[in-house]
Amino acid sequence: MSEPRFDHPRLIADIGGTFARFALEVAPHIFEQSASLRCADFADFHAAVTAYLSGLTDVSPGDIRHAAVAIANPVSGDQVRMTNYHWQFSIEQMRERLHFDNLVVVNDFTALAMALPSLSPLQRRQLGGGSAIPRSVVGLIGAGTGLGVSGLIPAGDGWIALGTEGGHTSFSPHDEREVAILQYAWRFFEHVSFERLLSGSGIELIFRALTDRAGLPERVLDAPEITRLALDGTDVLCKETIDVFCSILGTAAANLAVSQGAFGGIYIGGGIVPRLGLYFDQSPFRARFEDKGRFTDYMKGIPSFVITATDATLVGAAVILASQLRELDGANGSAILGQIRRALPSLSPAEQRVAQHVLLQPRSALNDPIATIARAADVSQPTVIRFCRSLGCEGLSDFKLRLASGLTGTIPITHTQVTGNDSMLELGAKVLGNTASAILQARDHLNRDSMDRAMRLIADSVRVEIYAVGHYGAVANDAQFKFLRVGVSAVAQTDPRLQALSANLLRPDVVVLIISSSGRISELLDVAEKAKERGATVIAITESQSPLARKADLALIVDHVEDIATQVPMISRILHLLMVDILVVGVALQRGAAVPVLGSDVTLGMDEMAPGASSASVARRRAPGVSVAGTLAHLSSRGS
């Protein structure tokens, strides 16, 4: 008998460095409307999710209340920054933007580990002997873009998944051939981990090392081609490469087994081994796995399995989401809610009304101002504060942080709508809070590679022309002033007619900086087209997925939702001004010029400005060491 379908489908995702896989879980472990999107086609995670949701049939995005994301990256706290890709986001902010009740984000190998108890015999293939001991530790290892390592520890009726970075343990060679591979790798890497060799790039490194060891002419082959030639049996060196890869994986898996005491077995996932198919079964993997000297008999008793299920990571993420939803629905859903239930008898009648309101509508209480909470509970605002302090909180803000942590596992950064009912004090607090929240979000979403490239392009140009219209004309004028102060020839054009005339005079050594919040102003799009026709480089400060972002040679993304029907675009202009500040300071650092800070000039690198030395030559000497990180550190230290 099949499991009943969920009242609301759950979004489950598996995000890697190359592809983002999405599916709807409509019943336990039943997935529909699966899709795989290329990460490179989207500016950020939000854009990829939105694209998937917009393509759903018979399901509207509003029907989805819960989601789980498995991501190829360590997950600790609220901020997620991908190691092998530039996407980064706040979990709580993303939950709010997508209008989900719950968003769970976990490491992809942690999710894969949680799927192991659910695998049927048809979803795994055993290699060699050994028998799993029920309710024993299970190990997990898998090679793909990197090397993932995890495990499962039995706990009561369930399991605890280990989130580790075991792929970065130091590689240990087993024989002279592997010693030679290590010595070759040391030419390029100070530390050689198992991941350096047990990954797609690792296969290529092993091939180059074996080519060097054999004294053969260098050949450039990528991992898929090396694998294909090895499986075809048409290239001896490619076959040796894959055999060495399988041997080293056997060493890493054996180390994991003895470290964890994994009598429940070692499971092999990742993207590479399943592609090897039956070749892997005949490879040196199992022989190397058992080759532990005095512990050989110990290793022979531990079984090893290849995961053949294609949706195992999605299953694991769904299992984790279901577990968290059960906890939230239980009597002690979160620590703070459990504390409120236990404290009810000792509270005053008025405080009990506040408690009942929070227990019935915890997410509303999380986002509502104190006046709304007081009205909903029919108490005074001081009573709300007394209720919070009765729980050991310093005040409402501290209580909300603890409540948010209990509901989502994260500390939220929120945007609060300014309303006509706000007092002057509330208005000021909301405006400042919203601005601070937006700045922090923009900081966390900076694409450092793009910023570094923009700084280099501007530093190497003969002139910067800055185009903006409407409210953003002030940003263009500010940019002109600041670039001129650091010695960069710059002119701001805010009139569409002058922009069109100026664009006709552009040259290939000119950089055009276009500033537009929406990225949809037709005049600016026309200017971008004309600039590219004239050979100029177009940099846009704009929102992701906008027409301007697609037209520009380089887009610096600033995403912020602002209700222009009720307020002028104040926060987005501040974000654009800050992007300009980062560019100006970065260019100044590259050129060794004076950086304008709070009304005074701080001269940087002037010791390098020897008589006769040009600013361009100084820029060439300084540019390699300049980065967005250094620029932000400078801004922070100077209080800009």
Q: What is the CATH number of the domain that holds 368?
A: 1.10.10.10
Output the six-digit token pair for 253.
Answer: 């898996």
Same structural domain, 461 and 363? no
Question: Is 240 inside a domain boundary?
Answer: yes
Percent of the chain past pLDDT 90, that is, above it, reads: 52
Same structural domain, 571 and 482? yes
Are the beta carbons of 160 and 129 closer than 8 angstroms? no
Which residues does 222 contact at the CB level (< 8 Å), separation at least 6? 204
Output the six-digit token pair for 626.
Answer: 């300049």
Q: In whole angstroms, give the CA distance from residue 93 to residue 604.
A: 37
Residue 63, pLDDT > 50, answer: yes
Q: Picking from 78-82, 120-124, 206-210, 286-290, which range would have the lowest pLDDT averaged per residue?
A: 78-82
- CATH number of the domain at 180, please: 3.40.367.20
Residue 424, pLDDT > 70, answer: no
Same structural domain, 264 and 285? yes
pLDDT at 435: 73
Domain C-terminal end among 281, 308, 335:
308
Question: Is 335 inside a domain boundary?
Answer: no
pLDDT at 639: 47
Percent of the chain past pLDDT 70, that is, above it, reads: 82
pLDDT at 334: 56
Same structural domain, 474 and 593? yes
Residue 1, pLDDT > 60, answer: no
pLDDT at 178: 96
pLDDT at 429: 62
Are the beta carbons of 576 and 515 closer than 8 angstroms? yes
Q: Locate tokens 């029919």: which residue?
A: 378
Q: Picking from 319-323, 436-440, 461-465, 596-600, which range would have the lowest pLDDT averaged per residue?
A: 596-600
- What is the pLDDT confidence band of residue 132, given thresholds at 50, 70 and 90? very high
Are the beta carbons of 454 and 512 closer than 8 angstroms? no
Region of 636 (left: φ > 0; alpha: ψ -120 to 50; beta: rest) is alpha
Strand partners, 27: 30
Identify the residue with better confidence: 615 or 365: 365
Same structural domain, 224 and 359? no
Question: Is 144 inside a domain boundary?
Answer: yes
Torsional sign, CA 95, 557, 476, 495 = negative
pLDDT at 423: 60
DSSP 332: T
Q: In whole angstroms, give the CA distance from residue 237 to residue 211.
A: 7
Residue 564, pLDDT > 80, answer: no
Q: In whole angstroms, give the CA distance from residue 578 to residue 461.
A: 21
User: Could you report the per-residue pLDDT of 216-243, keeping only the tens digit for each?
Assistant: 999 999 999 999 999 999 999 999 999 9
The whole domain housing 380 covers 346-414
Domains contained in the chain, number: 4
| Mean pLDDT within 95-102 | 88
Torsional sign, CA 323, 328, 329, 330 = positive
Same structural domain, 463 and 578? yes
DSSP 3: P
Question: Is 4 inside a domain boundary?
Answer: no
pLDDT at 110: 87
Q: In whole angstroms, give the CA distance from residue 579 to residue 576.
A: 5
pLDDT at 593: 57
Same structural domain, 516 and 562? yes
pLDDT at 86: 84
Question: Is 323 inside a domain boundary?
Answer: no
Residue 425, pLDDT > 70, answer: no
Same structural domain, 182 and 234? yes
Residue 635, pLDDT > 60, answer: no
- What is the pLDDT confidence band of residue 339, given thresholds at 50, 70 and 90? confident
- Give the closest residue to 583 by CA, choosing from 503, 515, 498: 515
Q: In whole angstroms, give the CA distance from residue 212 to residue 217.
A: 8
Residue 617, pLDDT > 60, answer: no
Residue 428, pLDDT > 80, answer: no
User: Could you report the per-residue pLDDT of 459-476, keeping only the tens digit for each?
Assistant: 999 999 999 998 899 999
User: In 214-266, which ranges are continuous DSSP H helix?
Assistant: 223-232, 236-260
pLDDT at 621: 38
Q: Picking from 149-163, 191-205, 429-443, which range would have the lowest pLDDT averaged per residue?
A: 429-443
Neighbouring C-beta atoms of residue 284, cutoff 10 Å? 16
Largest CA distance in the chain: 86
Cα 576 to chain centroid, rounded: 23
User: In 291-380, which ranges are continuous DSSP H helix?
Assistant: 296-300, 312-329, 335-343, 349-360, 362-367, 370-377
Q: Picking from 65-74, 285-294, 319-328, which range would have the lowest pLDDT averaged per residue?
A: 319-328
Same structural domain, 376 and 457? no
Residue 441, pLDDT > 70, answer: no
User: In 396-447, which ranges are continuous DSSP H helix?
Assistant: 396-408, 424-444
pLDDT at 166: 87
Same structural domain, 205 and 304? yes
Question: Is 427 inside a domain boundary?
Answer: no
pLDDT at 179: 97
Same structural domain, 171 and 213? yes
Torsional sign, CA 227, 233, 235, 240 = positive
Question: Is 430 inside a domain boundary?
Answer: no
Are the beta carbons of 273 and 306 closer than 8 angstroms? yes
pLDDT at 421: 57
- CATH number of the domain at 506, please: 3.40.50.10490
Residue 81, pLDDT > 50, answer: yes
- Of 236-250, 330-344, 371-385, the range with the highest mean pLDDT is 236-250
Q: Picking from 194-198, 331-335, 528-532, 599-603, which range would have the lowest pLDDT averaged per residue?
A: 599-603
DSSP 218: P
Same structural domain, 103 and 135? no
Output the six-digit token pair for 352.
Answer: 């009990």
Q: Average pLDDT, whole number, for the chain? A: 83
- CATH number of the domain at 74, please: 3.30.420.40
- Of 67-76, 577-586, 629-638, the range with the highest mean pLDDT is 577-586
Domain C-terminal end among 361, 393, 414:
414
pLDDT at 96: 86
Question: Is 200 inside a domain boundary?
Answer: yes
pLDDT at 329: 60
- What is the pLDDT confidence band of residue 568, given thresholds at 50, 70 and 90? low
pLDDT at 194: 96
Residue 161, pLDDT > 70, answer: yes
Name the strands in the sheet holding 147-155, side by side, starting at the edge strand that comes first in the sequence: 124-127, 304-307, 266-269, 138-143, 147-155, 158-163
Output the six-digit token pair for 335.
Answer: 């620590």
Question: For helices 396-408 and 91-98, what crossing angle results, to 10°?
Answer: 80
Residue 632, pLDDT > 50, answer: yes
Report helix, strand or coil for 459: helix
Residue 627, pLDDT > 80, answer: no
pLDDT at 600: 41
pLDDT at 618: 38
